[in-house]
Structure 1
Amino acid sequence: MGSQLIAHKEVAEQELTVAQLKRIYSMRQTRWGDNTPIVLFVLPSQHQDHKTFAHQTLKILPYKLERIWNKSTFSGLGVAPIVVNSPEEMLKAVAKTPGALGYMQEISRNEQVNVIKITK
């Protein structure tokens, strides 16, 4: 099973396409449909779950993602994703941060977060 998206409970989106995800993770889409700012959480680039998410879900190499974030941050056009150290931290951070979006390898139905379906 691939990565699953998790969002803050108040995020209304129930599904996102791979194209939307690429826009969000490459900092070209920074707001949800209701205009709430998207707060991205990621695992460290060397973490296996991050590599899996980048490769299998986004179809992009982790170092290329980091390059996009650095360029966006240094140019002042965007804010880099917030790095958390573990899937447990990811779950807690997304649950308590309005507008948050993150990913996990496996999550069962969870009352703390909104699990978003990834569509083609």
Structure 2
Amino acid sequence: MKKLFSIAILSLSSIVSAQAAVVIIGAPSAADISASDAKKIFLGKGSSALVPFELDENNPVRTEFHSKVTNKSDAQLKAYWSKQVFTGKGNPPAKVSSAAAMKSTVASTPNAIGYIDEADVDSTVKVILKP
């Protein structure tokens, strides 16, 4: 019985931790964007004046973001960008190492956008989309 209870608790805790609210952020003066625009921007499609920044690979917030916005897993995203680079169609967004680095970069770079966990949002950035 104790084993079953432990398994149930562990299952619930993993579900809760996977439900982090990811938000796309911009400088405090940034305008809101649509989910389809965000997908295009983060996949390097179309011509956008916005400059996307990514969190490092294997970051759970990055995984959650791409699952919700681009509908791509980490492996699919890696394959996508490998093909884009190989064919000369584009390069992946620049990477930052943490939520603090993302906020600093987005706040100080003109037309920059990125994503972080909603809990990390402060007055230095503006939430422009909640996917």
The reply to whether TM is greater than 0.5 is: yes
Tell me the C-alpha RMSD between the 2 structures.
Answer: 2.1
Q: Would you say the 8 A contact 1:4–1:107 is kept in 2?
A: no
Residue-pair matches, total: 112
Cα offsets for 1:4-25 (capped at 9, x unmatched): 11013343x22322x2222222
TM-score by length of 1: 0.77
Cα offsets for 1:14-38 (capped at 9, x unmatched): 2322x2222222211341xxxxx22
Q: Percent identity?
A: 25
Q: Distance in 1 between matches of 2:116 and 2:34?
A: 15
Greater helix share, structure number: 2
Alignment of 1:69 onto 2:81: yes
Greater strand share, structure number: 1
TM-score by length of 2: 0.71
Structure 1 letter corresponding to 2:99:
P
Larger Rg: 2
Q: Distance in 2 between matches of 1:97 and 1:112?
A: 12
- Runs of 4+ in structure 1 off by over 6 angstroms are none
Structure 2 letter corresponding to 1:15:
I
Which 5+ residue runs of structure 2 have no aligned equivalent? Answer: 1-19
1:45 aligns to what? 57
Deviates more, 1:38-47 or 1:106-115: 106-115
Alignment of 1:21 onto 2:38: yes
Q: Would you say the 8 A contact 1:27–1:69 is kept in 2?
A: no
Alignment of 1:112 onto 2:124: yes
Structure 1 letter corresponding to 2:38:
L
RCO (CA 8 Å, sep 6+): is it higher in 1 or 2?
1
